[in-house]
Amino acid sequence: MSKRTPLIAGNWKMNKTATEGVELVKEISAASVGSHASVNVVLCPPFTALSAVGQAIEGSLIALGAQNIHDKANGAFTGEISASMLRNLHVTHVIIGHSERRSIFGEDDAFVNRKVLAALSATLKPILCVGELLAEREANQTMEVVRRQLEAGLAGVPAAKAESVIIAYEPVWAIGTGKTATPAMAQEVHAFIRKLLAQQFGADTAARILILYGGSMKPDNADALLAEQDIDGGLIGGAALDAKSFTELVRIAAKSLSR
């Protein structure tokens, strides 16, 4: 049995107003999500819905995550949000280095790394996203790309804080496309990531770090993905916007722990 409690994280991206977000939380909570400890759940709404969603999940086991931070603590960075601002709203997790941030907003590995370090300094758990483009997979560069993003993203992370880091392997060609990596393809990369984590932080610590899969995870493919030894949960985009599919994913993940 895995030593790791599975985690299902919903990345709402630029969807849901605060009012719509609270409605979604009500539907999710009605299905008893966040009332038992066999699976951890994090919701990552847009910044504008953090406060309202935070209030709506109060008293449940659902945690609050953000989708991005700036690496600086404060200052003249118009439009940006710092780690301490998020902590003040009781945010505990933050997605960093999502492929949409890398490709649309030009975030490079060095910036991603500074954000990871800023998150850890503020006791936020970074969900560091790594993953290859379709062209990179077709050119057999998947492991090289994942190694570069992981090693650069985690540079300077002290071993004592490594267990606060969560990795999300998200093959870019599978995000929002309906194409999913097969369980075997995903497991191969997850095992490789855990090997790299062991090299950096030691095997015991690496065995405790969560590695999520992301990329069109849905109720009909989650069971097989979560059955793999090194897949500890999911970072969910599209399916997190629908209460029925999200709660079903949480139920499947809870079941995967008892295997």
> Which positions are annotated as active-site residues?
98, 170
Q: Which is nearer to ligand PEP, 181 or 201 (CB)?
A: 181
Query: Which residue's Cβ has the minimum distance to ligand PEP?
Result: 237
Helix axes 243-257, 18-30, angle to 10 degrees: 50
Q: How far is the CB of 74 from ligand PEP (least distance, A)?
A: 28
CA distance 40 to 166: 13
Q: Which is nearer to ligand PEP, 100 or 230 (CB)?
A: 100
Q: How far is the CB of 9 from ligand PEP (least distance, A)?
A: 9
Nearest to 8 by CA among 188, 168, 172, 202: 168
Q: Give 142's contacts (C-beta < 8 A, 6+ positions apart).
A: 132, 136, 171, 189
CA distance 189 to 180: 14
What's the start-to-end Cα distance of the chain, in Å? Answer: 6
Q: How far is the CB of 243 from ligand PEP (least distance, A)?
A: 15
SS3 string, 207-232, reads: HHCCEEEECCCCHHHHHHHHCCCCCC
Q: How far is the CB of 153 from ligand PEP (least distance, A)?
A: 16
Outline where 122-218 has alpha helix (H): 134-138, 142-153, 183-201, 203-208
Q: Which is nearer to ligand PEP, 52 or 239 (CB)?
A: 239
Residues that bind ligand PEP (CB under 6 A): 11, 170, 175-176, 214-217, 235-239
Q: How far is the CB of 59 from ligand PEP (least distance, A)?
A: 27
Q: Which is nearer to ligand PEP, 170 or 230 (CB)?
A: 170
DSSP-based three-state secondary structure for 40: strand
**Do 210 and 233 form a contact (C-beta atoms < 8 A)?**
yes
Q: Which is nearer to ligand PEP, 132 or 201 (CB)?
A: 132
- Residues forming a β-bridge with 96: 128
